[in-house]
Amino acid sequence: MARIEHLHVDVDSLNATLAFLETADRSLSCRGQGNDASFGSWVHLGDASNYIAMTEVKGAKAPAGLRHIGVVVEDLDGVMQRLQAAGFEPTDSSALDGHPYRRRVYYADPNGLPWEFIEYLTQNPELQNQYD
């Protein structure tokens, strides 16, 4: 069965997105990082199975058509509290409590990347993926 292992995006400032994501979810870890002469500084942030790859490209903007990058978290209220303390406000919190089995909130990081943080309130995939 195929699965998405990683997503790779260019960012204007690696440090800005890293600080945002590490504030949002402290469980994310750096799987690798470096500076390649042919394409610059890069980092892989995630866990043992999945990660977000980022390369620093000065002047990079969020890709056109990218609606958001979804990240599952265990404590959405904690994410929101940490981001608020760091000066970030949600770009959309209308789906925060609109579903019986998941909570969602949206933010933009300092590079303009759009993020959706999701907390599932059940381990049942049928209920998690209920769209009615």
Domain assignment of residue 92, given as a range: 6-58+68-128
Coarse DSSP helix, strand, coil percentages of the chain, rounded to the nearest 5 percent: 20, 35, 45
Inside any domain, residue 1: no
**24-80 tens-digit pLDDT:** 998 889 999 999 888 889 999 998 899 999 999 999 999 999 999 999 999 999 999
Provide the pLDDT for residue 21.
Answer: 96
Global confidence as pTM: 0.93
Number of folded domains that form the chain: 1
Inside any domain, residue 63: no
Inside any domain, residue 11: yes
Residue 42 maps to which CATH number?
3.10.180.10
Residue 132, pLDDT above cutoff 80: no
Inside any domain, residue 81: yes
Inside any domain, residue 52: yes
